[in-house]
Every structure is written in structure tokens, then in C-alpha cells.
Amino acid sequence: MPQSTADQRQFIADFYRSHREELVNFATSRLGNREEGEDLVQDTFVKMMAYDGFINAETVKSFAFTIVANKVKDLLRRRIYRRRMEESRQYEAEMQCSPVERIAEYHDTLSIMQRGMRLLSPACSKVYRMSFFHDMTAGAIAEALHVSQRTVEAQVFSARKKMRAFMRKEA
């Protein structure tokens, strides 16, 4: 016999009372914040109460945990987005420093890169310059230097690896 809306709501309320703490602990373990976990579980049960479909005893627990898990994912995504936006704002604020500072940083970085490129073989250095400074693709570099694209890709890979190691050491 189908469950009435009132019966389903009572069933969900009973489930909430008996499983609330378990769901809050589940959410808190993923979020690291008890208040957020409690809010999220409360939102879950509001959503379950508003659900038009049929919820039965066999599926209610997995249904509730699925909603909580999805809400946790959404909340974590929003946190990441907010953090990225904040980092972007900070970066923009840092870029508002004087042009003289930016020019000095540019020249310092360029100087470090030039010292690093002196450590590369002449062929790797040339390929790296064409790739990095002229933004050329491996195909375009291969065509310009009359070598295979695979050779260019190997030289770019080697040069980038050596340059990263050099710049880490210099920074």
C-alpha cells in the first residue's frame, strides 16, 4: 500500500532523529567543521521532506548519505572557488605595485633564466628560446630548424626539466 505524504514525512522525521548524529559525523569528517556539518545535515532533511518521490525503509539511509555527500562536494567546490578568487585578488593587488618593481623583478627573472640557458646544450638552448620566448610549437620549431618534431619535443622536455631544477636552486 502506498505511503501517504504525512506518513512519509513522519518516517523521515523518525529517521532524522535516529540517524542525525551519524550523518553529522559523516559530514564533519569531510568538512572539518561541526557547525557546517550540522547545517548541511539540516539542509539534507529539509530536502528529503520536500522530495516528491517515494522513500522507503530500504533506501532512506543511502538516500540521505548520498544527499549529504553531494552537499559536501558542493560546499568543498565553493570553498575552492572562493580560495581561487581570493588568490586572484591578492595576485592582482600585488601586481598593482610600482612599475619599477615589476620591471626589476622581470629583469631578475630574465637574468636567472639566461644563466640557466647557458648550462643547456646549444641545440636545447635554441629550441627552449624558440618555445618559451617566441611561443612557437614543436612543429613550427622543427620546420624552422629542419629537424624532426620528435627531436624538438625531446629537447624541449630536457630543457624544461633542467631549467626547472636550476630555477628551484636559484630561487
pLDDT of 18 higher than 70? yes
- For residue 135, name the pLDDT band (cuts at 50, 70, 90): confident
Query: Does the pLDDT of residue 12 top 70, yes or no?
Result: yes
Q: pLDDT tens for residues 37-69? A: 999 999 999 999 888 888 888 888 999 999 999
Other residues' Cβ atoms within 10 Å of the Cβ of residue 21: 11
pLDDT band per the 50, 70, 90 thresholds, residue 1: very low
Q: How far is CA 171 from CA 163, 166, 167, in A?
A: 12, 9, 6
Cα separation, 99 vs 109, in Å, equals 15
CA–CA distance, 85 with 87 (Å, rounded to integer): 5
pLDDT at 128 over 80: yes
Average pLDDT, the chain: 88
For the residues 163-167, what does the mean pLDDT come to?
89
The rounded percent of the chain whose pLDDT value lies above 70 is 94
Burial per residue of 25-43, b for 16 or more beta-carbon CB atoms within 10 angstroms, e otherwise: ebbbebbeeeebbbbbbee
- pLDDT tens digits for 67-121? 999 999 999 999 898 888 888 888 777 767 667 777 888 888 888 889 999 999 9
The model's confidence at residue 124, banded by pLDDT at 50, 70 and 90, is very high
- Distance of alpha carbon 107 from alpha carbon 128, whole angstroms: 18
